[in-house]
């Protein structure tokens, strides 16, 4: 049968599975590609599954928005960690991960042909979701340090614009946007009757005293700010698929329609585990940050020795470095050479929207210190030998 035309033809293929296949074909490769942490979920999260098992009704469908104990503890977390005090104009919706929170928001606020502003380099799943929804991603470059350019964002607004997306701490660059820049973007959204979609999956991963700021804490921002969160990173919860969103109350019915159609309810066993994790709070994640920070410093030092062939921006968040290669070489061909010859994997910059020049995203949160250092040494050796 001849396939019908599909909207998926225009959607880029996710790079992580492609690189994953190359890793499997080259045993012994150390991955500095996927954005996960090396540590497991809290024991309290696993223990909470007993409550799920011992509650007969937990095996049935539950509320579309999420179970009450989880919503209650998220409410407390938002107040304590994000300075977001919920009022009658806002609602929490638990989702199957942060990506689902984004697609919920996107479908709730757009119709086909609408525009969403992304800052480049962008998170590839955001761009994919926008294209999948028959909307148009409008790409606005960040500056030479990968920081926001509010004036450029303002100039990109048209009568079809529906939202501006920010990610801080950022994937793929690792930069942390300043409070002033995020407030300026939020003000632009308010003045132009747009939504500010703030992705904060890496909220606890900051270094050298740099602080994360949540735009949802801005006074009088609740009617146009959509805040997205995830347990995947901070709590080692990647496969449990639990995230949540804070949305204006007027979007609740739309989001419930989307979630009921796609999911019915977030996985209930994972929600019970999430309650156990959030009871431990951010201190669980922060006890592992010193080791991640040590790997980060080793990575920056190693790449600093290659400053004649690459440009490094010392980002203060997440667990990524976005490396600019000062040579004319195809980024995916470079990635393949690094895997096949040096047994180290990174991701090419084109998947993050960087089509001019050669860029690589390096992830340093997924490995314990000794293995990470070995991978970084392989990367350093490979870049030096390939590019000089």
Q: Select the more confidently predicted residue: 307 or 204.
A: 204
Same domain, 258 and 308: no
SS3 content of the chain, % helix, strand, coil (to 5): 45, 15, 40
Comparing 5-14, 110-119, 179-188, which segment has the lowest mean pLDDT?
Answer: 5-14
Q: Tell me: pLDDT of 380 over 80.
A: yes
Same domain, 84 and 110: yes
pLDDT band (50, 70, 90) for residue 105: very high
The residues, ordered by sequence, that sit 6+ positions from 12 with a Cβ below 8 Å of its Cβ are 124, 127, 128, 131, 351
**The last residue of a domain, from among 237, 260, 281:** 281
Is 294 among the domain residues? yes
Q: Tell me: pLDDT of 306 over 80.
A: yes
Tell me what pLDDT residue 6 has. 87
Same domain, 299 and 368: yes
pLDDT band (50, 70, 90) for residue 4: confident
CATH of the domain at 196: 3.40.640.10
Same domain, 307 and 207: no
Q: Tell me: pLDDT of 51 over 80.
A: yes
195-225: pLDDT as tens digits: 999 999 999 999 999 999 999 999 999 999 9
Query: Following DSSP, what letter does each residue of 215-242 receive, concatenated?
Result: GGGSTT-TTTEEEEEESTTTTT-GGG--
20-31: pLDDT as tens digits: 999 999 999 999
Arithmetic mean of pLDDT, 102-117: 98
Query: H/E element holding 140?
Result: strand 136-141
Arithmetic mean of pLDDT, 6-13: 88
Same domain, 31 and 48: no
Q: Tell me: pLDDT of 373 over 90.
A: yes
Q: Tell me: pLDDT of 272 over 80.
A: yes
Mean pLDDT, all residues of the chain: 95
Same domain, 139 and 256: yes
329-361: pLDDT as tens digits: 999 999 999 999 999 999 999 999 999 999 999
Tell me what pLDDT residue 3 has. 76
Q: What is the CA radius of gyration of the chain?
A: 21
Tell me what pLDDT residue 7 has. 86
Percentage of residues in the chain with pLDDT exceeding 90?
91
Percentage of residues in the chain with pLDDT exceeding 70?
100
pLDDT band (50, 70, 90) for residue 41: very high
CATH of the domain at 32: 3.90.1150.10
Is 1 among the domain residues? no
Arithmetic mean of pLDDT, 218-234: 97
Same domain, 86 and 182: yes
**The last residue of a domain, from among 260, 281, 302:** 281
Q: Tell me: pLDDT of 381 over 90.
A: yes
Name the nearest CA neighbour of 192 among 243, 226, 154, 227.
154
Same domain, 169 and 235: yes
Same domain, 276 and 305: no
Encoding tokens for residue 62? 């539950």
> Cα-Cα-Cα-Cα dihedral of 350, 353, 359, 361, to 10°?
-90
- With tokens 């995020």, the residue in question is 182
Q: Tell me: pLDDT of 86 over 90.
A: yes
pLDDT band (50, 70, 90) for residue 152: very high
Q: Report how many domains make up the chain.
A: 2
What is the separation of C-alpha 371 from the centre of its chain, rounded to a whole number of angstroms?
24
Is 2 among the domain residues? no
pLDDT band (50, 70, 90) for residue 34: confident
Domain with 207 in it: 43-281
Q: How far apart are CA 19 and CA 347, in angstroms?
A: 7
SS3 143: coil
């Amino acid at each position: 049968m001849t396939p019908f035309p599909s909207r998926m033809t225009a959607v880029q293929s996710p790079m992580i599975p492609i690189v994953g296949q190359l890793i499997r074909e080259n045993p012994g490769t150390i991955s500095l590609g996927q954005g996960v942490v090396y540590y497991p979920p809290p024991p309290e999260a696993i223990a909470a599954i007993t409550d799920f098992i011992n509650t007969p009704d937990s095996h049935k469908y539950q509320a579309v928005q999420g179970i009450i104990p989880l919503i209650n503890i998220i409410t407390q977390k938002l107040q304590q960690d994000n300075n977001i005090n919920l009022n009658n104009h806002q609602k929490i919706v638990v989702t199957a991960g942060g990506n689902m929170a984004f697609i919920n928001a996107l479908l709730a606020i757009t119709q086909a042909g609408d525009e969403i502003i992304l800052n480049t380099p962008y998170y590839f799943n955001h761009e994919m979701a926008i294209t999948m929804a028959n909307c148009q991603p409008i790409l606005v470059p960040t500056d030479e340090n990968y920081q926001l350019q509010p004036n450029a964002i303002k100039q990109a607004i048209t009568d079809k614009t529906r939202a501006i997306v920010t990610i801080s701490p950022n994937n793929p660059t690792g930069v942390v946007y300043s409070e002033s820049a995020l407030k300026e973007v939020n003000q632009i959204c308010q003045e132009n009757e747009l939504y500010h979609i703030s992705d904060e999956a890496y909220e606890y991963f900051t270094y050298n005293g740099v602080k994360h700021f949540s735009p949802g804490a801005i006074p009088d921002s609740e009617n146009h700010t959509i805040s997205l969160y995830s347990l995947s990173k901070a709590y080692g919860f990647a496969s449990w698929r639990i995230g949540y969103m804070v949305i204006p109350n007027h979007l609740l019915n739309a989001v419930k329609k989307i979630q009921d159609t796609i999911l019915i309810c977030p996985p209930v066993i994972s929600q019970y585990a999430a309650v156990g994790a959030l009871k431990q709070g951010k201190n669980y994640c922060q006890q592992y940050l010193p080791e991640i920070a040590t790997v980060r410093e080793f990575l920056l030092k190693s790449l600093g020795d290659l400053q004649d062939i690459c440009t490094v921006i010392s980002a203060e968040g997440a667990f990524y470095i976005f490396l600019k290669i000062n040579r004319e070489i195809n980024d995916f061909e470079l990635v393949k050479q690094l895997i096949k010859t040096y047994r180290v994997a990174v991701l090419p910059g084109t998947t993050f929207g960087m089509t001019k020049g050669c860029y690589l995203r390096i992830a340093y949160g997924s490995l314990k210190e000794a293995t990470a250092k070995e991978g970084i040494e392989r990367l350093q050796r490979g870049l030096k030998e390939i590019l000089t």
